[in-house]
Amino acid sequence: MKSIGSPVKVGKMDATSYSSIASEFGVRGYPTIKLLKGDLAYNYRGPRTKDDIIEFAHRVSGALIRPLPSQQMFEHVQKRHRVFFVYIGGESPLKEKYIDAASELIVYTYFFSASEEVVPEYVTLKEMPAVLVFKDETYFVYDEYEDGDLSSWINRERFQNYLTMDGFLLYELGDTGKLVAIAVIDEKNTSIEHTRLKSIIQEVARDYRDQFHRDFQFGHMDGNDYINTLLMDELKVPTVVVLNTSNQQYFLLDRQIKNAEDMVQFINNILDGTVEAQGGDSILQRLKRIVFDAKSTIVSIFKSSPLMGCFLFGLPLGVISIMCYGIYTADTDGGYIEERYEVSKSEIESQEPTEESKEQEPRSGDVLVPTVQGPKDVLEKKKD
């Protein structure tokens, strides 16, 4: 940052030593990256690479909305940024909404303003002022009646139409509310089936973007490990899966995809409700998730370190076994004592007639006959 002349200063803080400051800035996990600008604190939620962090710092530290004074500057921005937003027009309520949206979403993308003369000739505007997004070598115009809230629309359109997916990106796409159509392939496998599915998704994303860009995001993912964890199922590769990242539902192919037309038909069936959704966030699915995560954790521990796994799970099981054995043996001894007590009592009762008869016998001479203790005294001794 210093070498490129940035005004941003970079530092670090141990939040365990300064917990009050961490609490003030709402730090919930580590590492957390924030950019402080005036009274505002912006959270960084992008990939943890040097270039991405520098790009974030450059974007947020600069002007909230950057002016484009000429067509040359506009063309320069187009070459440099894959996705960016432009407000065209003068002062208006729409511009105020645009400023509010930019102050919230500057952490994700760039915001510019320009006059109508600066915009390329191929851009057609039905009314002014207007907000546009430029991406995928084309543009889309914000329509308040069809697109709803401006901030929500910007959040949905801040991604390119086709992306290389990973776990972090799928998490970010959850805020857009879009369905995500993914070709799950093995990029190292150059067979026709793997490359064909990827090209079909790319073709649909490119040729049908006007039809689907409001509802769908397209891309491909290398390998099925993350998808299997997400769906709690084993997907065969290559395949196509459509995810609803907002409620954890997903749709699997109900037909063989031979070309783009088959994929378009599959998407239309999802939109009209013909294809049944699987998964979701019901109570049953949440319980299934808990069991699946526990099983996955145990398996991963034993795979990475069998000895550690045996210690972690063997020690608690051993302690529980000893406790159960102790409880069982304690119950057995108690039963034995109680049984012995009952037997003694019965013996005493059987002795009562004999003792009474002994009391009625006369004494012989001066010899004293020992007096036999009564049942009550025997019982008291037994109890003692």
Tens digit of each residue's pLDDT (9 = 90 or more) over 201-211: 999 999 998 89
pLDDT at residue number 73: 94
Mean pLDDT check: name the lowest of 41-55, 208-222, 295-309.
Answer: 295-309
- Expressed as residue numbers, the domain containing 213 is 161-281
**Short-list 62, 48, 53, CA closest to 5:** 62
- Phi and psi at 86, nearest 5°, equal -135, 130
Q: Give me 83's structure tokens.
A: 């996705």
- Among 125, 157, 189, which residue terminates a domain? 157
Structure letter (DSSP) for residue 249? E
Confidence of residue 268 (pLDDT cuts 50, 70, 90): very high
Range 170-178 average pLDDT: 86
Q: Is residue 166 within 8 Å of residue 126, measured between CB atoms? A: no
Range 342-359 average pLDDT: 52
Asked if the model's pLDDT at residue 352 lies above 70, the reply is no
CA angle 76, 210, 257 (to 5 degrees): 115
Range 259-277 average pLDDT: 91
pLDDT at residue number 358: 47
- Phi and psi at 234, nearest 5°, equal -105, 110
Mean pLDDT of the chain: 83
Co-location of 127 and 210 in the same domain: no
pLDDT at residue number 351: 54
% of the chain residues with pLDDT over 90: 40
Q: Give me 101's structure tokens.
A: 């949206």
Co-location of 153 and 185 in the same domain: no
Q: Give me 242's structure tokens.
A: 């459509």
Co-location of 233 and 165 in the same domain: yes
Range 66-73 average pLDDT: 94
Range 268-297 average pLDDT: 80
- Among 157, 185, 219, which residue terminates a domain? 157
Q: Is residue 275 within 8 Å of residue 269, measured between CB atoms? A: yes
Asked if the model's pLDDT at residue 345 lies above 60, the reply is no
Confidence of residue 384 (pLDDT cuts 50, 70, 90): low
Number of independent structural domains in the chain: 3
Distance CA 9, CA 36 (A): 10
Co-location of 152 and 13 in the same domain: yes
- Among 157, 178, 195, which residue terminates a domain? 157
% of the chain residues with pLDDT over 70: 82
Rg of the chain over all Cα atoms, to the nearest angstrom:
38
Mention every residue, 6+ apart, whose C-beta is less than 8 A from residue 373: none
Confidence of residue 365 (pLDDT cuts 50, 70, 90): very low
The residues pairing with 43 across neighbouring beta strands, listed in sequence order, are 34
Kindly report, residue by residue over 294-342, the tens digit of the pLDDT.
776 777 776 677 777 677 767 777 888 888 888 878 655 555 455 555 5
Mention every residue, 6+ apart, whose C-beta is less than 8 A from residue 161: 135, 136, 205, 206, 209, 213, 217, 218
Co-location of 10 and 142 in the same domain: yes
pLDDT at residue number 304: 73
Distance CA 271, CA 265 (A): 10
- What are the helix (H) ranges across the chain? 19-24, 50-61, 71-80, 93-105, 144-147, 150-157, 167-173, 192-207, 209-212, 225-231, 260-271, 283-304, 306-360, 375-383
Co-location of 6 and 121 in the same domain: yes
Kindly report, residue by residue over 2-23, the tens digit of the pLDDT.
888 888 999 999 988 988 988 8
Mention every residue, 6+ apart, whose C-beta is less than 8 A from residue 22: 13, 15
Asked if the model's pLDDT at residue 35 lies above 60, the reply is yes
